[in-house]
Amino acid sequence: MVENAHNDNDGMQCNRIVTSSRLLHHAVPSRWIRSDRPFYCFRSKSFQGFSTRRSFSSSKKTKQEPPKLSRRGKVDLFLIITVALGSWLYLRDSDWDRDAWNEKEKLLDIALLREKEKNTTKSATQESHDRLPMPLRKYLDTAMANVPGTTPNDSKSVQKRARVVSVDQTGMFFASQQWYPFRSNLLTKTVFHQDDFPGFVWEASVTIMGMPNKVLETYSNGQGGIITKAWGKVPLIQVEEEEPYILFWLAMAPLIPSTFDPNSESPEQSETSQPLITWNSVQDLTTCSGTMVDRATNERFEMELQFDPTTYLLQSIRVTSPCLPHPWQVQYSNYQVLRGNDEDPRSGVLVPCEIEVGKWKPDDGHLDLHLKITNQHMQDIPLHDKANGP
């Protein structure tokens, strides 16, 4: 009886403790309570273990792993990046195309103005054509033999000769001990009279070290410049051309053969003007020499032209000048009729499809090439009709 009373008292005390613990600690798991030992032996250890477990669980919650993208989230992110990159590429090309066209439009405006000025003067005559060196005269007659209305004694001869042409090109240039292929478009103009300047706009696309680059080289009114941008968007370090810009224009001169005929310009000139090209006495039947003057810098370039003795076509031009450390040379081959427009009467001109430019080394007679160009498609830009107006 005494033991039962004692046990009842212990049970009542345990109930009070359990009730208090529920209020303080919400609950005590039943698995912690063992039936083979009294609760008073268990309660201190159980509550101590309970608080310890609570502290462990709270510490683990503070160290959460970073969230991971679901499969659908990865697909959505990829689509967003693709659309953003495509939009950027489209806007990039639009900006470059606009800048390139602005430069070409400036050159065409100058050519149109010079065409209007030329039409107020007299045309070249048969007598002026006969004064040209014989190799050069034969070359011009051969290159333009199939062009209607370009005989020197034709009153409309000068008007029908091409003055501005656009040419699609491919090629390679040498830099950093290796060759880089490119694609380009050239817009070039000859001089319309003695006070005019030659000019060109050369737009090229080239990949260097896996990076696509856009190059825009211009020469107008005696001033030249180069713009280079990665992807046509990011400006790169701009470097000046090692050679005078007028030499690149000279290398492309056979695309407009009448460039070599100073008499195709206006015979009337001001007292202070100086011809772009003047020809010296003939050395032999396949060679002639002359002088080209860059009126913007007053630099003089001595030229020597070599012609094929059988076809009379121009083979090479070698240039020497005090401003050049080595003689400059350009070679021509693979002459063809490049037809840009079958209805254009000037599409029958014979031009070189292969052009190679380099430095001539007199010591070993070697030509150190740094530029190779293949002309693929040519189109005349007729300005005469525009110059006369509607």
Q: Which two tokens stand for residue 159?
A: 């008007």
Taking a C-beta distance cutoff of 8 angstroms, is the pair 335, 350 a contact? Answer: yes
Total residues belonging to the chain: 390
| pLDDT per residue as tens digits for the range 72-117 | 777 778 888 888 876 766 665 557 788 888 899 999 888 888 877 7
With H, G, I as helix, E, B as strand and everything else as coil, classify residue 130.
helix
Among 50-54, 158-162, 203-207, 378-382, name the one with the lowest average pLDDT: 50-54
Distance CA 351, CA 334 (A): 8
Q: How high does pLDDT run on average in the chain?
A: 76
Residue-range domains of the chain with CATH: 2-58 (no CATH), 92-388 (2.50.20)
| pLDDT per residue as tens digits for the range 149-185 | 555 444 344 445 678 999 999 999 998 889 999 999 9
What is the mean predicted confidence (pLDDT) over 251-259?
92
Is pTM, for the whole model, over 0.75?
A: no
What is the mean predicted confidence (pLDDT) over 262-273?
52
Specify the residue for token string 């489209």. 90
Instruction: Indicate whether 289 pLDDT > 90.
Output: yes
Q: What percent of the chain has pLDDT over 70?
A: 65
Q: What is the pLDDT of residue 255?
A: 94
Instruction: Indicate whether 350 pLDDT > 50.
Output: yes
What is the mean predicted confidence (pLDDT) over 303-318?
96
Q: What share of the chain is helix, strand, coil (3-state, %, to 5)?
A: 35, 30, 35
More confident residue, 22 or 348: 348
Instruction: Indicate whether 349 pLDDT > 90.
Output: no
State how far the alpha carbon of 41 is from the alpha carbons of 24, 44, 126, 154, 256, in Å.
Answer: 19, 7, 132, 129, 112
